[in-house]
Amino acid sequence: MLELQLNVDKCKELAIDIKRFRQSFVPMLINDEYLDYVTEVKILGLNFSNNLWWNDHISDVIKKAYKRLYFLILLKQASVPSDDILNFYCTY
């Protein structure tokens, strides 16, 4: 039978609480060590926060879009052909 071993150094604890009045949580203890408590975590490209708001995730997506749009504007101002701009967009 396989037994799951957790690496306490790599594990984090995120307690999700959507109530108006937040309650305190008891820290999780694994192998006589407490897990680090975090208020937000990024999993598979999605930002999760302890209150389940999407503000941080939306901000990151907008930031990425602005970066890509800035490079496209620079290429357009430099009179780069449209095919090359499209190729840059698809590869970047």
pLDDT digits 0-9 by tens, 34-88: 888 888 989 898 998 888 888 989 999 999 899 889 989 999 999 999 899 889 8
Comparing 67 with 1, the larger pLDDT belongs to 67
Angle ∠(43,47,52) on CA atoms, nearest 5: 115
Given this model, what pLDDT does residue 62 score?
95
Residues paired with 43 in a beta bridge? 46
Comparing 66 with 5, the larger pLDDT belongs to 66
Given this model, what pLDDT does residue 58 score?
94
Domain boundaries, the chain: 7-53, 58-92
What's this model's pTM, rounded to 2 decimal places?
Answer: 0.61
